[in-house]
Amino acid sequence: MDTVQDTGARRTVKLLIVDDSNIVRRRIERSQQFDDLQVVGTAANGLEALELARRTNPDLVTMDLTMPQMDGIECITQLVQMKPEVRILVISALADKATAVEAMERGANGFLNKPFTDRQLNEAIAELMY
Amino acid sequence: MLREEELKTFVDGTTRYFEVAAQQPASIGSPYLLEGEPAMHDYTGMISVSGKREGVVYFTAPRAMLTVLLMKMQESDFSHESMRDLVGEVANTISGNARRDFGHDFVISVPSVFAGEKPQISQPTGARAFVIPIHWRSHSAKLVVSLT
């Protein structure tokens, strides 16, 4: 189901939030400050994320990496195969360069380290979407 | 075996977490070598480490501290599940940030969380466990790092 809506001149951007922490998922949802961003789903692992992505067709996905059942790197790989145009912002505590490089090589478009401020989150989203 | 100078990575990670996530810095006490059983608080989030290094990193904190931390994070859910979620996320964030210094082969697990029970923590042979005391507002918590 495609729920993209027109809101005047700007199209609604559909956001899917993926993180195994409920607190982090709520934090991202609460802290994003874009009127045209619509949270279409939240997932606690890669498997749930793929299922939700099929159903909600997101434009942007925030993706944790260390998760049970299916980690973020594998999820990015499958998500990009399923929906090549999706933009993926990795939000992870893993702070080494090799992890960021690997995520980008699999298809991520941006990388934000935890812990993050609201400003850092919004700047990272803006960089990918606008 | 974990060297004392490597502890700086975890001290810095703990400092950063409270500064950014709680918007209020914590005071970090002098780390000390753990002898015997550590005193656990109400909730403990534990990360297993494998790869180039082996061992555990765990964050243990009282419910009162976690409640205030959640408030500072604009959370309104102070349930048992939120407390469990938070200690796991703190342990995960500090351990994950350590890869900045320890590298990609410092492989961390998803968090295991213990509440109201004595955690089963098996330290690898030859590992030394250090306790990093954390003081935040009127509360005290601990980060314990035990690595080969």
- The reply to whether A62 falls in a domain is yes
pLDDT at A2 over 50: no
Res. B18: pLDDT tops 80: yes
Is A1 inside any structural domain? no
Q: Which residue type does A45 have? A: N
Judging contacts by C-beta atoms under 8 Å, the chain B residues touching residue A27 are 73-74
B55 min Cα distance to partner chain A (Å): 17
pLDDT, tens digit, for every residue of B86-102?
999 999 999 999 999 99
Q: Which is more confidently placed, B53 or B116? A: B53
What is the domain range of residue A15? 6-129
Q: Is residue A44 part of a domain?
A: yes
Contact check, Cβ <8 Å, B86/A23 = yes
Whether the CB of A95 is below 8 Å from some CB of chain B: the reply is: yes
Say which CATH number the domain at A43 has.
Answer: 3.40.50.2300
| pLDDT above 90 coverage of chain B, percent | 82
User: How many domains in chain A?
Assistant: 1
- Give how far B53 is from chain A: nearest CA, Å: 15
DSSP H helical ranges for B1-148: 7-21, 63-72, 80-97, 99-102
What value does the mean pLDDT take over residues B8-18? 95
Contact B99 A22 (CB under 8 A): no
pLDDT band at A10; cut points 50, 70, 90: low
- A contacts of B103 (beta carbons < 8 Å): 96, 98
Amino acid (one-letter) located at B49: V
Per-residue pLDDT at A4: 43
The amino acid sitting at A102 is E
Q: Would residue A42 count as lying in a domain?
A: yes
User: How far is residue B18 from each of residues A99, B26, B98, measured CA to CA in Å?
Assistant: 24, 6, 15
**Interchain contact B17–A (C-beta under 8 A):** yes
Cβ of residue B85 closer than 8 Å to a chain A Cβ: yes
What is the average pLDDT value for chain B, to the nearest integer? 92
Q: Does A119 touch chain B (CB under 8 A)?
A: no
Inter-residue contact B69 to B14 (CB < 8 Å): no
Chain A hits for B84, CB-CB cut-off 8 Å, are none
Chain A residues whose CB is inside 8 A of the B92 CB are 21, 66, 93
pLDDT of A37 higher than 90: yes
pLDDT reported for residue A130: 79
Q: Which domains can be identified in chain B, with CATH numbers?
A: 4-147 (3.40.1550.10)
* Residues on chain A touching B88 (C-beta within 8 angstroms): 21
Beta strands A60-63 and A87-92 are: parallel
Q: How confident is the model at residue A9 (pLDDT cuts 50, 70, 90)?
A: low
pLDDT band at A97 (very low <50, low <70, confident <90, very high): very high
ipTM above 0.90, yes or no: yes
The 3 state secondary structure assigned to chain A is CCCCCEECCEECEEEEEECCCHHHHHHHHHHCCCCCEEEEEEECCHHHHHHHHHHHCCCEEEECCCCCCCCHHHHHHHHHHHCCCCEEEEEECCCCHHHHHHHHHHCCCEEEECCCCHHHHHHHHHHHHC
